[in-house]
Chains A and B, each alone.
Chain A
């Protein structure tokens, strides 16, 4: 089966913001761009293209499809056969003062596929019509689950020769992570000149096995202390990161995903969410 990048569009300017990143990922990875529009009105092919403001001549390999019914259900169903979902946080019916629309929220909560979220105010690093991330930030808390963000992000980043910055954030008054295979900043730091290089090396080996024999990828590990959301946004701003990939637990309910909510709110670069698959 041909792999594809799923791009749900509802005809709004906000949703169309995801067009260039979706097209670029498809181009970088040689995947088919699958544009999905969900509406109950009958539209001819031309009307559909016009409504979604697409210029087919700019696209190398794409499929455009219209479905009826619930947008969430249609997107989730189509996502099963997709490698990535790229979508706007907001659509035509969504209040931009909200974090994201209900459709997007349901998609990110229910899909196990990586979802690249594009906010209406997202700054995209576009060169010759292509979105090319140059400096990516991947926060890892030291648990293997959080490292699930790496593989789908690295697949794209390896093609753009981006600098990949792994950020390990630790907090005070925190119990050690109990997940098997966890690896957080060292409790013992006998001699910093040896401890940190050794720790960084193991951190990359443990969580980035995809790095094996990929000498072209530039990767570094940094640490910071404090509130994870604040640290992620501050790091991204300081280092001009133009892409963030985060693994998360998959629920946006009240008092959950506080870090993610704040990062979504405060960062203005594309953010890829990967729901942690506990069966891996």
Chain B
């Protein structure tokens, strides 16, 4: 596939109001390390931060584990004739930042003129290597355009932005490179960061170490018009590297490969292409070295919000992208769930159950990290019940394990790891069932994806996913030639769980009693800038049919191949009217289900609503990090919605519904280890 060269650019010199959003949306990552794209010289209002995916900390008194900020490796200070070069009090000729989708790097081009009329051009390229887990690179190119004179550059690792409440600076130093060593205060985990730079041309070199950081200092007499390049490689928890050119080339090669496997090409709409590129950039970066001992947090590694906690977002919104474009990443992410099974087992024990209950908010241990209460800004203290009652996450993970196997045919994974997840979650599901007088099994007091309605009985989503959990657990046992009491029980359960389906109308009742709740016409509250539960109040919302996000539509999306367009449309028409989209997880699923129901116009509107969540800056809450699940939603909306991909273990098919705004779409999928290139336009589908 042709590499599409569209970049995303922020032209502003500096916007103190929006700087933290820009840092997030242009963040870099490789799944193991993530860094916000802060202005290298630092200004008040900047929020530089780097995180390591599995470095969770918890101090005595902390309510939960979280990812602390580690030292900032991007810091650069430039002095021309001892005057600092910055954006304050200078004539800024240009200062733009952009993501280069051809190389997977972040580039800044900055040119300023000082009071003496000296014009300096600065280019900074940064990347976090997709090829080598521990490697981070930055290239600084300085050109004195109209002068000769003394230039001094300080580049290295800044500790001031690190979380000293949870990290301890060991004050180690080296005379060969910048070096910072820290350890976690309460868990004895070590963090080492090395920073080694080189400069072409004659120069003085020095290393400065202090509690605030470790920096390399270069000073030289510059010649008119000459380019000076300082190439810096930072390594995290690995010995220092010096070959910058090789490192950058390896990164660019890996990036190109990933981009080639993952990019979606939309013909006919440049803006939409930009939205998709933006999502794909973050998805590739978030995944590469994630998994096994960590997963992808709700805001990836691009910001402090959500504390690095891992939710169902990963399996439901991100795994489809990885399973279908980079199954190795998908496998590693599922291995994280396998590796946290012990925590999930402990959660089940804490609930008084058997099997494995995955944490609603998971970190490195798999133990539940959701807080018990939250304080709203109006002072109201609300209980947070998700940790104890949003049980569907265990079956969500089981669903994804099976989907992974269906698409990849990775029997080794299924037999060695996946099956254990399926069995343990099925055992947990058994504990949720209560046999009713109708002879069916019911699940009471749960929270479905629609978190506005808590402790409901027979949430259709939960019941459907639990039924599937039994189904795939049985299938896995059959594949392993196991037939035992569990197989019999699970077979029995899966066929006798209450579904909420009314065969006459084709409607699923979201939970028992939903139809009796008050209908609220959401249009009466438009235009609206805040969630409906804030407008109506929590208690009132629970008494209405206002829902937070796709619930019935969520399982109809997940099991799309089982529902006809008409069956989907009936439920879409009913629930879309009642959905207030209080979650960023909602618009993408509505885009997909609308497209599958043949409502392409609505699907396109939801597509835009979802894809703009961060980049459109309509709401400004990207400052705490990007909504990585929405990025997955963007990819799914195109591949599963507009292209209409359906799949099961027997194969895949497409039922396209291209929006009027697009001429064609092109993308690739990995199916059972083989790449399939898909081209769809209004005339048909070409799969090669």
Contact = CB atoms under 8 A, between A and B. Distances in A.
Interface of A: 144, 168, 170, 172-176, 180-196, 198-202, 205-206, 209, 212, 221-225
Given A189-B533, A191-B306, A224 B583 contact: no
Interface pairs A-B: 5 shortest CB-CB: A181-B17, A193-B374, A198-B305, A198-B624, A223-B377
B624 A225 contact: no
A173 B527 contact: yes
B304 interface: yes
A241 to B, nearest CB: 14
Given A180-B17, A185-B534, A193-B384, A199 B621 contact: yes
B375 interface: yes
Contacts of B556: none
Given A173-B526, A190-B585, 14 more contacts: A176-B527, A188-B583, A188-B619, A188-B621, A191-B298, A193-B371, A194-B307, A199-B624, A201-B624, A205-B47, A222-B378, A223-B378, A223-B534, A224-B378
Interface in B383-400: 384, 386
A209 B47 CA distance: 12
Interface centre among A182, A187, A201 (most CB of B within 10 A): A187
21 contacts: A173-B526, A181-B18, A184-B529, A186-B530, A186-B619, A186-B621, A187-B528, A187-B618, A187-B619, A188-B619, A189-B533, A189-B582, A190-B298, A191-B311, A192-B376, A194-B307, A196-B375, A198-B305, A202-B621, A205-B45, A206-B623
A205 B304 CA distance: 14
Contacts of B621: 186, 188, 195, 198-199, 202
Nearest to B47: A205
Given A191-B386, A202-B621, A209-B45, A172 B525 contact: yes
Query: By DSSP majority rule, is chain B's interface helix, strand, loop, or mixed?
Result: loop
B149 interface: no
A80 to B, nearest CB: 26
A174 B376 CA distance: 21
Interface centre among A144, A183, A192 (most CB of B within 10 A): A192
A186 to B, nearest CB: 5
A189 B20 CA distance: 19
B501 interface: no
B584 A188 contact: yes
Nearest to B537: A225
Interface of B: 15-18, 20, 44-45, 47, 298, 304-307, 309, 311, 370-371, 373-379, 382, 384, 386, 525-531, 533-535, 581-585, 613, 618-621, 623-624, 627
Given A198-B624, A223-B377, A175 B527 contact: yes
Contacts of A205: 20, 45, 47, 623
A263 to B, nearest CB: 19
B582 A176 contact: no
A181 to B, nearest CB: 3
Contact of B309 (A172, A182, A188, A194): A194
Contact of A172 (B45, B304, B533, B535): B535
